[in-house]
Structure 1
């Protein structure tokens, strides 16, 4: 590994860029050089971010192609260009992502799991709060069809794309927007359930309801989803178990009862039919199941089923967060009991 080439992941100053370019040229010009995958990815990323003269760029890419093969280098370069496009949309041009552009990069071999600074291309889509629901539905279909396991990739905070999508209000605030855009959540969770296997450990779960949410008992009249796709398995009063997130990135099944159907929140677009169910857990918490899918909501049968975590949460995350169920009963000083959400602290 190029342990002494730490600057490949750093931002170059203009005066040092040519020096670094000369070093890279010398390295990749060595016929006997053996590149590991991460070394090759770092080199291609550095070329995209720091080599602005086309002749210099092409020279380095040709040398890398001779060392690692055209297929691998072309795929990495397409992935880097996909990242560049997504970064422009999110931070420079502040506009929505278009599925047609994403399709072109994927056709050239771009990988949704390709990352820069621990953020994958899929995560960058989630962190762009300007996209429409219809475009995102197609973008996530395209991405997860070619790279279904990318839904489970964690960032530097050990959060999955779904974790960020469910926190869409916070993402909007980080971009200085007054109105949140829920399209990332409404498009991503159904796509994960359809295209990513449970082994991806994407964090699919029922989510806590908001103060603005309510169940309407019928899907939105503006929804264009065919009626046969809106049939529900459960009715109000049915006993169910819901998959909910626990501290450290895992999930558990909690029992509850369906108290409403076709839940929606005030900021959700009218063309979205709504969440299938609103459930009151036996613990007292209200959650909603965005999709009527067995991976997040099931009929209660007999005793409590085993936790639904596919793989264990990272050890360092578990050490820094409370253990046990996310929702815990605690007794206040006056003797009154209350339910504490150990994730939000409320």
Structure 2
């Protein structure tokens, strides 16, 4: 078709583009790794699961990059005279191509599984909410396995052939639908929690601990991956070799989506913790002055009102921290509740 990228050019571009995205992903991974260990965020089972999954995903993506670099050398250097780059990249049944496909599929499955698990946590471990996303993930896994098996059976250069087209379209479509659904469920849950908190008077309109920015982070990060999937669907339908470029960039793109949510929400939760800690210290100092004045007979608020005020501050933080920790398990916001309780105990 007119405007189609030659396959040998697409092979070079795919490796170049993947290594570029992989560099960005590695920076985000190291930031997430550092923040998790430095700030002591491994105090719960979900946080440990996310931490281990993040490490495994980066190792998997690194292996995928290494395999594609090996394929680049094979196609353009070692087998250039005997096979040629075009025939080499057209052969879907080569062992190195199958290995790259398996690593690509594993990265997608891990990313989708973690998004579903995050949605499950945000909805208070309600399994019925994630039944449909889990079903879509199962369909995606089956479609990927069938497509990988057929790679070894189809003739040379038939990735756009009728034997594969239905399976490839199913893979991309289910991944797109599953990510759109889970991201929407997470964002809706956070928005509803924030709305209920403000309606109950737990948080004011200008509270720094509101969950709307967290919902925006989730939606923005998921939108990047969904845009990649949409481009893949369009390119594959048009039989355009450009789909090879985006397909090979999928593993680091999945990692970027996952790590960007972790890093951005962790930074926001840490900022919330510091802001709340300063505000609570000021509030506690004010209450202590009132108690001191009362002890010398100069007036002030009764001790019961002062204590109630500090207790309500603790309640606010525990309410907001619970939902935020379900978005990014291990968030520092959990420290606020304990520090406020300690301050309340220090009040006479």
TM-score normalized by structure 2? 0.23
Q: Compute the TM-score of the two structures, normalised by the length of structure 1.
A: 0.24
Tell me: higher relative CO, structure 1 or 2? Use CA pairs within 8 A at least 6 residues apart.
2
Structure with a larger share of its residues in strand: 1
Give the structure with the larger helix fraction.
Answer: 2
